[in-house]
Structure 1
Amino acid sequence: MPEQQPQEYIEARVDIPREYADAVCNFVIENIANGIVLEEEDDSPTVGIQFYVDEARAGYREQLNLYVASILVDSGLTPPTISERRVKNLEWIEEYRASVKPIRIADDVVVRPPWHDPLPNTRYDIIVEPRMAFGTGSHETTRSCLKIIRERFQPGMRFLDLGTGSGILSILAARMGAVYVKAIDYDLAAVQNAKENCAINNVSTPCDILFGSVEKCEWDEPYDFVAANIIKSTILPMLNTLVKLTRSSGTLMLSGLLTQDEEEVSAALRQLGEADFTILADNKWLTYAVKKR
């Protein structure tokens, strides 16, 4: 039976200082909603970001508030209030689906929705059903993470994916020969989407996709490759644990970070004795690739 669409959506709006609007737009598109409407005036210091969410996703408020607070923390600005109203189904999801195109991440890695045909000269063809979970390949952090995995991941490695979203990073690791994958997210919709995408991609690697956070790894042996594509306010409190979960000479990849986070994150890594890292920048976003000592 076809999936039943909600009869109503929540129309949400948040007014963001202009210099932070791009970051919030990207976060909303990839992590909360399937599309946005921008309302801005040339002489206004803020940009209105409007989007639609299913009523079942009411938890988006806390998610967005935490993110906005994290990027405004050093500005002295007060996080804005999210306004809401209920609207009838505008069928905007179908319009969004029609707009999603395949994305070539590296020379031989392509991310595409299931209704598009594979692109030629593609070794790793990753199919992602774009629902309300982070990771369709269009966001800078997702692209950077995929590039680093493509460069550093080797067959036979064990892969840990914290904040898995759509499961896109785990799928590439599995395709590249991972012997085991553990993918975790605190959003049930993301967990369901990651499982769906692993099935669509015929992932045969032993793979646990779990609801929760880093506590799900408390008794695990160190991993060869640990990925945490989240946000600074979540990464820093668990950084020591992430380092311990990475085996010696393994890779710890940290993303979801803004350029303004570099000094604090770099200092935190050095304080833990981890100074061997490179930073991949894409627009305002940073991704760390740390070689565990």
Structure 2
Amino acid sequence: MKWLELHIDTTHAGLEPVETLLSSLGIDGVVIDDETEFQDFLENNHQYWDYVDEDLAARMQGRSRITFYLETGDEGFARMGQVRLALEALKRQRSDCGTLLLTMDTLEDADWENNWKQYYKPMEIGERLLVVPQWEQEDPAVRAALGTRVPLILEPGLTFGTGSHATTRLCLTALEKAVQPGSRVLDLGCGSGILSIAALKLGAVSALAVDIDDKCLDVAYENAAMNGIGREAYTVLAGDILSDADLRGRIGGGYDLVVANIVADVIIALAPAVRPLLRPEGRFLCSGIIDTRAPEVAGALTGAGLEILQTQEADGWFAYLCR
């Protein structure tokens, strides 16, 4: 089936009247892009990010846009005509809604379902790992590569954490050397579970993964199952280790390796809490640190009594291995 993908360019003030207009025509499933909300999010959630992609920032510059979809065919084109007439009337009524320009693309069903997959291909990481998107695992070339590498199978569409970002690659490369047979691993801010699952594939005996987003529970368990890892070896919990005493009790301590691929502010806040999580000779591996924050994070780690054993850098991002 083909679909019409329609965009209405407006202003922040015009979003609500345009959405109301569409709803009056029976169109309620819309996607809203708004620079004001984007900037508000960045301003009020700075603890969760250190870097905003320049292309994303450019796309959001001055943008207030509503996107919706109609089936290609007589009914869809008739509905599009109704929208165009209604927009012309709205423009006459209000002067604060911008251009109200209506533009159109056409899509196949498969475009929605599969086009994003082109961005995820098998990746060799370090000396031992091969990150494999779930739909690529039957490819003969992938099977041949698996003769010498440990497969880490993921469904990248489920959530963040695919191995493609420099911070994740840094952690995975370091994991190859840090994980020893029989290691107990704690993954803080686990996302897709990629790091803790990789640790288990590399020889860890058990892993506990934690994230403040409860959506990661199902995602990490699903990715673990694709790698033949069951809940007897892998546990995923949701919550904030810094504010939830009950969660800290469930996590316990004595881990051989704690990993955290998050952002600088969270790692700085975590630093004083890391030592009780580790056994005496345990290691703490942290990444997600943009270069401009690296000295600050290093200072927080050493200030918390951790010794930095190794520093890695790639594409302007840093990772530290500590004890």
Percent identity between the aligned chains?
32
- Structure 2: how far apart are the matches of 1:112 and 1:178? 20
Name whichever structure is richer in helix by fraction: 2
Is the 2:122–2:130 Cα contact (8 Å) retained in structure 1? Answer: yes
Q: Which moved more, 1:186-195 or 1:226-235?
A: 186-195
1:229 is matched with which residue? Answer: 261
| Count of residue correspondences | 236
Q: Which has the larger radius of gyration?
A: 2
Superposed CA offset, 1:142-165 (max 9, x none): 101100110111011110001111
1:156 is matched with which residue? Answer: 182
Query: CA 1:199–1:246 in structure 2 vs 1: closer, same or farther (change >3 Å)?
Result: same
Answering whether residue 114 of structure 2 is matched by residue 94 of structure 1, we say yes
Answering whether residue 259 of structure 2 is matched by residue 202 of structure 1, we say no
Structure 2, unaligned runs of 5 or more? 1-27, 52-60, 71-106
Q: How far apart are 1:66 and its partner, in Å? A: 2.2
2:45 is matched with which residue? Answer: 66
Letter of the 1:88 counterpart: Y
Query: CA 1:243–1:9 in structure 2 vs 1: closer, same or farther (change >3 Å)?
Result: farther
After the TM superposition, which residues 105-124 of structure 1 pair with which residues of structure 2 at under 5 Å, given as runs? 105-116=125-136, 117=139, 118-119=142-143, 120=145, 121-124=147-150
Question: TM-score by structure 2 length?
Answer: 0.65
Structure 1, unaligned runs of 5 or more? 1-6, 16-57, 73-79
Letter of the 1:195 counterpart: Y
- Structure 2: how far apart are the matches of 1:69 and 1:114? 28
- Structure 2: how far apart are the matches of 1:183 and 1:174? 12
- Structure 2: how far apart are the matches of 1:68 and 1:81? 24
Q: How far apart are 1:271 and its partner, in Å? A: 1.3
After the TM superposition, which residues 235-274 of structure 1 pair with which residues of structure 2 at under 5 Å, given as runs? 235-274=267-306
Indicate which of 138, 143, 147 corresponds to 2:169: 143
2:123 is matched with which residue? Answer: 103
Query: CA 1:279–1:176 in structure 2 vs 1: closer, same or farther (change >3 Å)?
Result: same
- Structure 2: how far apart are the matches of 1:168 and 1:186? 16
1:217 is matched with which residue? Answer: 248
Q: Superposition RMSD on alpha carbons, in Å?
A: 3.1
Question: TM-score by structure 1 length?
Answer: 0.71
Q: Which moved more, 1:271-280 or 1:195-204?
A: 271-280
1:10 is matched with which residue? Answer: 31
Answering whether residue 209 of structure 2 is matched by residue 183 of structure 1, we say yes
- SS of residue in 2 equivalent to 1:221: coil
